[in-house]
Amino acid sequence: MSPARPPRRRRTDGQDEAGQRKADQRKAVQHRDVQHRDVQHRDVHDPDGVRLQKVLATAGYGSRRACEEIIAAGRVEVDGARVRELGLRVDPAKAVVHVDGLRVQLDTSLVTLALNKPLGVVSSMHDDEGRPDLAPFVADRSERLYHVGRLDTDSEGLLLLTNDGELANRLMHPRYEVPKTYLVTLDGRVPDSLRRTVLRGVELEDGPVKADHYRVVDRTPQQSLVEIQLHEGRNRVVRRLFDQLGFPVTRLLRTQIGPVHLATLKPGRTRVLGRDELGTLMASVGL
């Protein structure tokens, strides 16, 4: 008889989140690399520009010495060309710079925030009907921010706010198919067969919709908690999907947009996306 295998150590939530973030980053880099191949021998030097190591240091990649090591190691691309020259100068307003495959945001005036939108709040910076809107949550910000996509008033969770028009346009464009993940509470106990149905697709009045991912988190005879991921952006599509299947939504929480996770962000609170998180998000839409 062969010896029994030792029990596998269960991963903690922190380990799972860290692993997921790394996987998201790898996928985003692979997606970007399809569009941005290394270009050899391209002259990307701008004699009137700023030294590349200074640009990277300003963007948060450490001291100038540390940034010189990053450049010398071949980890930096400028306008699609991998560079190693320490004397290289670039125009921060025009150059497209990537480190380890992730876009570097060189414009310090641009900011992207994650907001945990509370229940009952309209996805608008100003509501003409006087309903609670997004403005109070960013009242301390000097930038003029816009919401990326929407969440229904009776839905809650992750919403992105930014003043980066190019990033916002790409995130909302169907071409890039940015996935969105939801935790959905349903009225009734869902059968196991529902997974195959939502992954194959369900016909709605404005066309078919199918999930990229679906799993049952918990269920009782009275209700079910499921996680579903879609790259759809149609109005109330998650609610309409489950209504069509006979399981009305009683609560909907968006937990993820592309590589950005809601994680432990409390309702009504915001946070600025981190450097790598923003770079991964930009890479996922080809920036």
Helix, strand, coil percentages (3-state) for the chain, rounded to 5, are 30, 25, 45
* Biggest distance spanned by C-alpha atoms of the chain: 74
Q: What is the torsional sign of CA 90, 92, 96, 102?
A: positive
Rounded CA separation 155/176 (Å)? 24
DSSP β-bridge partners for residue 223? 187
Two tokens at 9? 């150590």
Q: What is the torsional sign of CA 233, 236, 237, 239?
A: positive
How would DSSP label each residue in 212-227?
Answer: SEEEEEEE-SSEEEEE
Name the active-site residue from 152, 154, 187, 276. Answer: 152
192 catalytic residue (yes or no): no
Q: What is the torsional sign of CA 67, 68, 74, 80?
A: positive
Rounded to 10 deg, the angle between the 165-172 and 275-284 helix axes is: 50
Phi, psi at residue 25, to the nearest 5°? -65, -45
The catalytic residue positions are 152
